Amino acid sequence: MINFFHLTGIHSLLLSPPAAAGQETNPIMQFLPLILIVVVFYMFLIRPQKKKQKQREEQIAKIEKGDKVVTASGIHGTVAQIEDSTILVQVAENVKIRFEKSAVTNVTPKNAA
């Protein structure tokens, strides 16, 4: 089994003895752990969140009349009318509620099975 630290050469940095009083250490090596933490943080937290937000914005932009939606408050209904920043959702016969588009959490297109 190949270890990640052996592949990147980090094991020699982490396991090397501290520099003697007369020797200077490379400043990049001192900041390498911090740089690695930032890169890992970006790869596992920030990037997936941005991707998910972009997909949600695309989904909301594609809302059409007749699509089934679920709002953040848990109300299920069918889109009856679309305006610039709001939608009119029919939740029962002759009952329509106006919501901000940002309140929509899930969209099922009308032509989906």
Q: With a threshold of 0.85, does the pTM exceed it? A: no
Residues paired with 31 in a beta bridge: none
**Half-sphere exposure of residue 42: CA atoms within 13 angstroms, side-chain side:** 6
Residue finishing a domain among 59, 77, 93:
59
SS3 88: strand
Domain of 92 in residue numbering reads as 63-108
Residues 72 and 55 in one domain: no
> Residue 35 falls within a domain, yes or no?
yes
> Residue 22 falls within a domain, yes or no?
yes
Q: For 47-106, how does the pLDDT look when each residue is reduced to its tens digit (9 = 90+)? A: 999 999 999 999 999 999 999 999 999 999 999 999 999 999 999 999 999 999 999 999
Residues 10 and 52 in one domain: yes
CA–CA gap between residue 76 and residue 70 (Å, rounded): 5
Task: Give the E-state strand segments of the chain in sequence order.
Answer: 68-71, 76-82, 86-92, 95-100, 104-108
Residues 75 and 47 in one domain: no
